[in-house]
A and B are shown apart, each in its own frame.
Chain A
Amino acid sequence: DTAVSQTPKYLVTQMGNDKSIKCEQNLGHDTMYWYKQDSKKFLKIMFSYNNKELIINETVPNRFSPKSPDKAHLNLHINSLELGDSAVYFCASSLRSKGQGRDTQYFGPGTRLTVL
């Protein structure tokens, strides 16, 4: 009965490869997010989708492309992986629309990506 799940939990890959991380929420929430926690431990938002519509797109290289097939899923595809992409990526969801900062966000367990 996991609320927000991510796969895989760990991902080790070579530079230049393309990889995807999947996220699913069973909370019936309207909004989903991707965050990146880098080596300095900052948790920074990358993208937010509301009902399959992109509403937040922070300054992220266009090698990162989120895809939301439905409001319960938000996948993250990364092309041409670089060393600096190594981080923990967290998916989250919140109930209301428009991704307001006031919404309680429910996080997945994270995906640790290591680029060699």
Chain B
Amino acid sequence: DQQVKQNSPSLSVQEGRISILNCDYTNSMFDYFLWYKKYPAEGPTFLISISSIKDKNEDGRFTVFLNKSAKHLSLHIVPSQPGDSAVYFCAASAGNTPLVFGKGTRLSVIA
């Protein structure tokens, strides 16, 4: 039972363009969402988060949008850079519960 779904296993984007990574969730109790980035042979690193009381959070080139009614969030990267090529994991939690991760989306930014 996947509570956090990242339906696109991979995404290719030209350098300088926008990358949009999507995430859907099924548990309506989730109230905090995070994105982690993972390079090969390394552990995931925290990128950006959003609380359910907001619908947008921005940090430099990274913006996360949350649509609670659709149980959907997305990560926008503008402009995309080759160094952004990595696997991006969406994660969610409800209150004090442990994080639930999606399967990840592999982003390739082509120069």
Are the CB atoms of B98 and A110 closer together than 8 Å?
no
Q: Which of A's residues lie within 8 Å of B, judged by CB? A: 4, 33, 40-45, 48, 56, 58, 90, 92, 98-102, 104-110
Within 8 A of A (CB), among B84-111: 89, 91-99, 101-104
- Taking residues whose C-beta sits less than 8 angstroms from the other chain, chain B's interface range is 20 to 34
Residues of B within 8 A of A (CB): 2, 32, 34, 36, 41-46, 49, 89, 91-99, 101-104
| B104: A residues at CB distance < 8 A | 41, 43
Instruction: For A45, list chain B residues within 8 Å (CB).
Output: 98-99
A56 vs B99: C-alpha distance when bound (angstroms): 11
Q: Are B42 and A90 interface neighbours, CB within 8 A?
A: no
Known A-B contacts: A58-B98, A101-B32, A107-B43. Give 10 more (CB < 8 A).
A42-B103, A43-B89, A90-B43, A99-B96, A99-B98, A101-B95, A101-B96, A102-B32, A104-B34, A108-B43
